[in-house]
Structure 1
Amino acid sequence: MSDIDPRLRERFAAYRAETISQIAGPGPDQARRTLRRRRQAKAVTVAVTAIVLAVAPIVANAALRDDGSIPTPAQTGEPTTPPPSASAPTPSTPLTPSTTTTTSPAAPDGRISRAQLLAARVDLPAWPAHAPQDCVASDVRLRPPGSRQRGPALADVDLGYTDLDGDGATETVALVTCRLGEASAKQLVAFDRDGHGRIVTMARVVGTAEGLDDITDAAVTEDGRVRAQVADIQPCCSTPSYWAQNQWRTYRWHDGRFTQSDGPRSFGKDPRLTDLVLSGGDLVLGPAGTDGKRPGILSLSLSNTGPVDVAHVGFAEIDHIGAMSRADSSICLPWRGGDESGTTCRTAGLRAGERRAYTFHLLVDPTALNQPSVRVVHFDDQDRHWQDLTFKNNVVEVRVAP
């Protein structure tokens, strides 16, 4: 540096002094200002990065939907009002389908009183073909029980009320009758109301033309069934009421009609009856007396072929042949009689499978004999007479021996 021109050295020194003063490092204040600027720049960078990361999935979803819209992000804290240009968010579809409630009109109430039924005009199911013309079925005004007027009438049986067809409303069951001479045709009928409140007929539950001869009682159940008490015989004239076999049968509404759902479907042979077989019938006459009457001996044989024991045996119409002698009348046991069986003598019974011979001594007027016959009758221990399983072998014609 000693070789440098002193003037040049002075210039270099002046230049260095000026330059160093301009580039000198900052003091503490300058350092703090520099650090603050760096922190602000970093915060801006972090905020921008967060915004980008939050918007990116939304933009991606919009791209997948291909609708160009960006849903508004979920709000937290105080709600904000979207700018006017922003479209309202579209509500999402529920995960479960909504339940649509439809209101249908309630079924008419078919509970009908006896007075209402008697006051109305109704159409009935058809009566049996052999029924008289008075047994009408169209536009019928029912008669009260015990009425002396001819035509269809209500029986003296309680009305039944239940939901027969499962529509949630009650229907009515009534027993309707129509006189057929000494007996009556009967049918159990279900009634309802239409939408205008008029009484209408649903259908016949059961009738006497359907393999049975009588309907004696009826009842309904809470689950819509109809129970009918039916019989194989309708007592009338001289027919005892105890002869009838009674059964309870159950019916249900199905496919627009009533069908039997429970109970016996036929009567079959009456288990209370047996088969008595009477044979013989030869009448041997002795010489005539001064009055023209002749003593006679009548021989009969009786078998009980079963299946029921007979408590007592009755012989009917012997008195049409002749008067029984005092000696033979002792075999006839005391009894009340007057049972419409025509029995002259009632004696001890026969067990099933037993056979017995009988001899009767009679005083006979030959001129009064007109195709005489004898009939055997089954009696129980209550003096009630019964039918026989085979009636034709209960009678023998009396033959006068030469």
Structure 2
Amino acid sequence: MCQKKFDAVAQRRLPELIAFTSSSVHFIDCVNLEYDVVIIGGAFSGAATALVLKRKRPQTRVLIIEKAAEFDRKVGESTTEVSSCYMTRILGLTHYLGHHQLAKQGLRLWFSNWPDQPFDDCVEVGSRYQSRLSGFQVDRAKLDSHMLELAVQTGCHLWRPSKVVDCELNNGKGQRVNAVVDRSDLSATCRWIVDATGRAAMLARKLGHLRPNNDHPINAVWARFTGVKEWDSYEWRERFPDYANRCRTSREWATNHLFGRGWWVWIIPLHGGDVSAGIVYDNRIFKFPEGPSLGQRLHKHILRNPIGREIFGTAHVIEGDVHALSMLPYHSEKVCGDGWAAVGDAAGFIDPLYSPGLDFCSYTSYYVADLLAGSLAGEDV
């Protein structure tokens, strides 16, 4: 946008561009639209990249462009020891995670041979005692919002909600991002563009690098439930004493998995009492049940399993919180070039089994932040 048109918009509408976070309002000098780094996407990967970069090089001028006015809850709710270490030891989120999310007690795997098998006859694989390296069960909407707020507090500018219209990549000569902010067309120039758009993979699609993994055709359907029974209740200790005595830690805080031929189900507790449950299945082997709605179909499948039937017998799907994705795995053949880089799911995704999603976000956000800090400091990267 030319300066004359920009000044006209500014005078007509707002003296300053307003960027909103979940808890505060920040004002951005709308005359200065030149940045060192523009990050497209303000959820975990984008916010973590910004946060690490600003800590490594505080003078870096960073703009985050986030399309959503509010984050929604998404998959990627369970962490491994890798992403937990990144969040606590690198990002410094120990206090936040301890007070606003749940500590995780590892993985538990459940197997059955037939639908009517008694619950206490099913096979359980999991730790007897507490995990030595704790992970977390996270509500991603809350975590993403907190991360973005931290990034803004370090001095990052934020356009939100804002729709990116186009990116102009010119290698080392400078990049340009065109966006719509508050119904006005704005442009920002920068040395580096970071794609943190998740599965949208904006730059991989634009540059022709995106490749689906057709050899691993898995799909996912997930929802949040209320009324899910407790794994460690007194009632269950009375009904299944052998089951209770086998485990000295809390099954409730683990990521519990149900397995069948061509499918598996995750069961993840969330802070506040809701439970996330979802199925991942190979459509060459397994056919997802029919039904009037995705949520009911998912619930129907879970109830066919002897463990699921006990846990979800009185549960209810939270309406409006049901989601589905097809052809989950993909990758970008190139994740970094002169003037651009991709982080998190914008670089690729394989499979949600064992909860590796935030691991990829952790590795890529730290690496890219380190790369950009070195480049902006004049290093040959």
Which interval holds the TM-score relative to the shorter structure?
Answer: under 0.3
The structure with more helix, counted as a fraction of residues: 2
Structure index of larger Rg? 1
Which structure has more relative contact order (CA 8 Å, sep 6+)? It is: 2
Provide TM-score, normalisation by structure 1.
Answer: 0.22
